[in-house]
Amino acid sequence: MAGADEIFDLAADFGKASGKVAKALFEVYAESGDAFAEDWADNARETSGEHGKHYPNSITSETRISLGIHVETGPDSSMKQGSMGRGFEFGSQNQPPHLDGLRALPIAEKRLERGADAAIGFLLP
């Protein structure tokens, strides 16, 4: 996992990068976010049971640019059973925590790091 200095250095390099690099990184982040959502949903299918049968389908990913690249991944509360995400992920009085997203996160981190390196690693010092 990268330290804060490495992340700040990457952010500074990204700020100097060309539009092609930004486009490539946006695509890497979007693909990584979608894959993270799929892994999270797969984990949720294993743990959500009959009472949460629609919950895995509520897990989505959205990528946008706003002073950087932002990827938001998780249950979409506007979708069927999407509002149950907090209870499934962190537990409630009715069930223990499933931690489906947390279990999918290490794979997502590695995928994003590999994708970013492949997209722009050769351009950075």
- pLDDT tens per residue, range 23-76: 888 889 999 999 999 999 999 999 998 888 999 999 999 998 877 788 899 999
Whole-prediction pTM: 0.74
Predicted local confidence at residue 17, as pLDDT: 60
Residue 43 CB contacts under 8 Å (≥ 6 apart), including other chains: 98, 100, 101, 103, 104
Q: Which residues pair with 50 in a beta bridge?
A: none
Positive or negative CA dihedral for 77, 80, 86, 89?
A: negative
Give 16's pLDDT tier (boundaries 50, 70, 90).
Answer: low
Rounded Cα distance, 55 and 64, in Å: 24
Q: Per-residue pLDDT tens for 68-115?
A: 788 899 999 999 999 988 988 999 998 899 999 999 999 999 999 999
